[in-house]
Amino acid sequence: MALYISILSLFLTFQTSFDAKVIGITDGDTIIVLSENKEQIKIRLEGIDCPESHQDFGNKAKQAVAELCFKKTVKVISSGKDRYGRMLAFVYVDNICINEKLIEMGLAWHYKKYNNNEEMSKIEIMARDNKMGIWKDPNPIPPWEWRANKRKK
């Protein structure tokens, strides 16, 4: 059984696109899907970083993700794995990219440290200019800084 799971995990790592049903929302940038072969996969949304649950807009980001995709069939386009073993992916409901939609709503930063997608940068600039979500605050604290400060304490 362990060998089967290892082979399946290896297969999913190299698979670039598949359909799945969203069965869980961990936070604004992490979901759990059930693949067609009934495998649960934790997905970290590629290219974004949402506020943490104890930050302003953290729970709103999680709620928005739930409203956008919970219990829906999504298209997952994998781009690899993160250092925690989660699949990195762009996730689509119909033709809506959840990753980009969260930036547009002002509920996520474009995570430029790990992603250089120019379209995502443009969407973030528009959200900032329109003072959407996190951008209503004149000095929002990016989640990577918030996590670093928390680790120091």
Q: What is the pLDDT of residues 15-58, one digit of tens each?
A: 589 999 999 999 999 999 999 999 999 999 999 999 999 999 99
Q: What is the pTM of this model?
A: 0.87
Instruction: Evaluate whether 33 touches 41 at the Cβ level (below 8 Å).
Output: yes
Catalytic residues: 44, 52, 86
Match domain 9-152 to its CATH number in 3.30.420.40, 3.20.20.30, 2.60.40.1530, 2.40.50.90: 2.40.50.90
Q: Where are the beta strands (DSSP E) in 36-147?
A: 40-45, 48-49, 73-81, 87-93, 96-97, 109-110
User: 152 or 57, which is more confident?
Assistant: 57
Q: Report whether pLDDT(10) > 60.
A: no
Look at residue 15 in the predicted model and tell me its pLDDT: 52
Alpha-carbon distance of 133 to 36, in angstroms, equals 35
Instruction: Please report which helix (H) or strand (E) contains residue 24, including its range.
Output: strand 17-27
Q: What is the pLDDT of residues 52-103, one digit of tens each?
A: 999 999 999 999 999 999 999 999 999 999 999 999 999 999 999 999 999 9
Look at residue 7 in the predicted model and tell me its pLDDT: 47
Torsion-angle region of 121 (φ positive above 0: left; ψ -120 to 50: alpha; else: beta)? alpha
Look at residue 149 in the predicted model and tell me its pLDDT: 86
